Structures are given as structure tokens and as C-alpha cells.
Chains A and B, each alone.
Chain A
Amino acid sequence: MDDPVTVPPPTAALAWWWALLLPLVLIVVAWSAAAVDAAVEARAAGRPGGLTVPAHEVTRLLVGQRRRTLAADPVLWRAGAVVLPVAAVLAAVVIPLGTRPVADLGVGVVWFNAMEVLAWAAVWMAGWGPNSVLSLVGGYRFVAQGLAYELPHMFAIITAALGAQSLRVGDIIAAQQDLWFVVIMPVAFVVFLVSAAAMAFWGPFDAPVAGDLAGGAASELSGVDRLLFLGGRWLLLTAAAAMAVPLFLGGGAGPLLPAWAWVLVKTLLVLAVLVWARRRFPTIRMDRWSEISWMVLVPLTVAQALVVSIVVLAQGGL
């Protein structure tokens, strides 16, 4: 960081065909998390097995018929279901799967944020499309939730970028060689996890698709649309968990194992925390969550960003 106007380093991305593999990698990770989640649920209910539930569900939804509703808006309805998994995969292109990402963008952190925010549009469209009141309420709930989580989320990821003085995900990993950012900025890390769950409308933030709305935004989705929507939600959760690794957990750094294995292990650990949190905490209401977010999380993350920027300046940053 001696010369502030350094030319960006030559591209450090994976070969182009990794772009085709990336969705598969995401699906495999999300699938295993979903299988474990289903097994935990089966165990809690006193049933054996559960590991094969995702396979059953996918098969059932693939052959399932589309539900039709009166005066639906099919364009937005279908678009909502398709956008969710696409957004998750696009967000994941900047995450290093080891040492290198699929696309090494200079503004990687902003790209990740811009792609995951497509979930706003996706859930609202899916809620609007079927012309069904419970579904519509679910869509609106997600926008209220989004307005609450987005600012703390942005502050959390920008704090990591601030610590590395770069928006490039690779630089953020490089800046953590001595000390992981989770140690320097624990508040940002926790807020990132909380907002990641809220972004994927994952419990305790699953009010947009909660049972009190008979499934909310997903209530009228069936067949392939439902598979895309709920699968896309798992992919989004996986992508967000995977992004916590380069931002706060030192990327692929670790002893003995190769970088890709460490990324995988750390991602699965973060996913396990998120899956555990859903079972541990009850769904939080929108009005409560909004106030907690604006009154507690926003000031906390701003203070965290301030502390980090003072440290960066004291160390002779820009």
C-alpha cells in the first residue's frame, strides 16, 4: 500500500470452465447442508434417517404440476423463482474456491452485494405473482426485512474491505495473513452472519415464508417453480456463508489441508451455525426486527467501521 495508485494485479481467476462448475459446487454444498438439516429434523421428530429428504423433495417437485391461480401475473411470478438461484450463483463468482475465484473483479465486494440484493426483487415478485393475499403479505414482509438488514449488512462487508483497503476479495484475504478479520472486527462478523440469514429469509428471519402465512411468498409456488425458489434460497444461504470465509475467516488459510479444503470446511462450519440458529431461535416479527436493526445494529456497525478506519489510519494507511 505504499503507492496508492497501484495498477491492479493481473487477473487471478480460475479457468473459464469453472463458471460452469460453480453452480454444481454450490448445489453440492447446499445439498449436503440440506441433507444434514433434514436428518437433524428427523431425529428431533424421532424418525430414523432423513438424509435422503432433499433427493425425495427434488424429485417430487420436478414432476409436480404447476399450481394455477386466478388472475395471476405469470411473468413476475416465474421470474421471481428463477432470479433467486441465478442471483446466488452470480454472487458466488467472486468467492475464491481455494486461492482463486471464478471472476477476479476489482470491485468484488460491491458485486457480491449487488447480486445478493436481487433477492429483494425475487421474493417480492414471487409474492406478487400469484394474486394471493398470503403470498403478497410474504413478499411485502421481505421488503420490510430487507430495509432492516441491508444497511448493517453493507456496513459489515464494507468494514472488511476497509480493513484491507481494497474492494477486491483476493486483497481482503491477503490482508488477513497475520490476523483474521473476525478477531479485529467481531461485531462486523456477527452482523454479517445475522444479515446473511435475513437475506436468505432463513430462520429466525423466515417471517416472509413463515407458517403463520401458510408459507408466505412461497405459499402458491409448486413444482419446478417451488424447487427453484426454495433451492435458490439454500444456494443464497450457501453463497452468503461462503462469503464469510474470505471476508472474515482468512479465506483458504490453514495448516495441513490445501486451500480449497479449508474454504470448504469453513463454509460448512458457517452453514452449520446458520442451520443451528434456525432451530435455536423462534421467528422474529418484522416490527421487532426493524427496530433492533436500526437502533442497535446500525450504530454498532458504524462504530465498528470507525474503529477499523482509525486503526487503518494509525497503521499508516491511505
Chain B
Amino acid sequence: MVVTFWVLALAAVVFGFGVFRLNSMAQVTFSLLASFLAVAGLVLLLGLGYLGVVIVLMMVIEMVIMAIFMIMYMMNPAGLMPMAMYHNKPGAMTISVGTFVLLATGILLVDWPQRTGAPAPDPTFALGRALMGEQMLTMMTLGITLFATIVATVVLSTGRGRYDRLGDDLDARSADDPLGGGVGR
């Protein structure tokens, strides 16, 4: 248990540092993914099975998509040339190392309180209860907000709207699309 904790903790930090040391955007992305997977392992060690596994699931999907976007937007388009992740090197180093030292000292020096409650018999069930019970309103608001953001972003960024596809009166028999699509609309 203790050994696993230290291995995972070390892996999380080393791969996290790799994000700044590696010079390929693809490697950087997967280094970050490896760091997240180590964190997911730490969450699993806490006995939170669902949260840990969901972190793995979300982060793998997210990081693969992220790799595509980061390579798309980075300064050298092909992404195969060496590059540096450092900007403002001394300042960034000072801030990040300073924050780490500050937080680490805090963790070591704070007088942690004794645990009073007991963990739920099934943390997954307790989580679902909380999300679909007391926190229902929060989650619904969050969900609608996220969905509205996605729709708004797509509407703002797309070059073609429904009038381009279906004509000024929206009465074209079939949509004028650059790509065929599979449903035959």
C-alpha cells in the first residue's frame, strides 16, 4: 500500500515534469496522460473505485483529443520538429517551485484534525446519491450550462448554418453539404 502510494506519487510528479522537459507535443500530451493515470491510481488507493476508474476513462479520451488540438494549434504545424514548452523560464520556475514548496510545507506543518465520520459502505452509491439527490440542482445547472456552451461555440465557429444547407427559405429537398454523411439528409 505504502509502496504503491510512493511509486504512483513519484510517477505523477515525474511525468508531470516531463510535460515541460519533452520537446514533442505528442510526447508532452501522453506524459501528462501518464501523470493523470498515476493520480487515478492514487484515487483508487483511497478506496474510491468509481472516481479513480472514471478519471482513467475521461483522461484517456480527453488527452487523445487534446493531442490533436495542441498539435493543430502549436507553432510548428506538423509537430514533429523539436520545440520548447518553456516560456519566461526563470519566472515560471520560481512560481511553480515556490508553489510546490509552499503547499508541501503546509501539508507537513498543518495540525490535521482527527477523522470523525465513517466512510459510506459503498462510496459509488453515496456519490450517485449525492449527485442525484441534494446536488441535483447544481448538476442539472452545470449540465445545461455546459451543453449551452457547446452549442453556442459550434454556432459561433461554424462557417455554414442551416440557410447555407437548406436555402433561404429552408425548403431545399436535400441539404447542400460539402461532405456526404451517412444518413442521406
Contacts from A to B (Cβ < 8 Å): 4-8, 71, 73, 75-76, 79, 105-107, 110-111, 113-115, 117-118, 120-121, 124-125, 128, 131, 140, 143, 146-147, 150, 167, 284-285, 287-292, 295-296
Contacts and interface: CB of A to CB of B under 8 A. Distances in A.
Given A106-B49, A290-B182, A121 B26 contact: no
Contacts of A118: 60
B33 interface: yes
Nearest to B50: A107
B53 interface: yes
Nearest to B128: A318
B60 A110 contact: no
Contact of A73 (B27, B33, B60, B64): B27
Interface string B61-102: 101110110000000000010000000000000000000000
Contacts of B33: 121
Contacts of A296: 183
Contacts of A125: 26, 30
A5 B121 contact: yes
A285 B179 CA distance: 11
A110 B183 CA distance: 31
B121 A143 contact: no
Contacts of B147: none
A150 B185 CA distance: 23
A105 B56 CA distance: 15
Contacts of B50: 106-107, 110, 167
The secondary-structure label for the interface of chain B is: helix
Interface in B25-51: 26-27, 30, 33, 49-50
Interface in B127-185: 179-183, 185
Given A110-B54, A124-B67, A5 B181 contact: no
A240 B27 CA distance: 29
B64 A120 contact: yes
B125 interface: yes
B183 A143 contact: no
23 contacts: A5-B121, A75-B27, A76-B26, A105-B49, A107-B50, A110-B53, A113-B57, A114-B53, A114-B54, A115-B56, A117-B61, A120-B61, A121-B30, A121-B63, A147-B65, A167-B124, A284-B182, A285-B182, A287-B179, A291-B183, A292-B182, A295-B185, A296-B183
A5 B129 CA distance: 10
B61 A79 contact: no
Contacts of A113: 57
B121 A7 contact: yes
Nearest to A123: B64
A73 B180 CA distance: 35
B111 interface: no
B100 to A, nearest CB: 26
B73 to A, nearest CB: 15
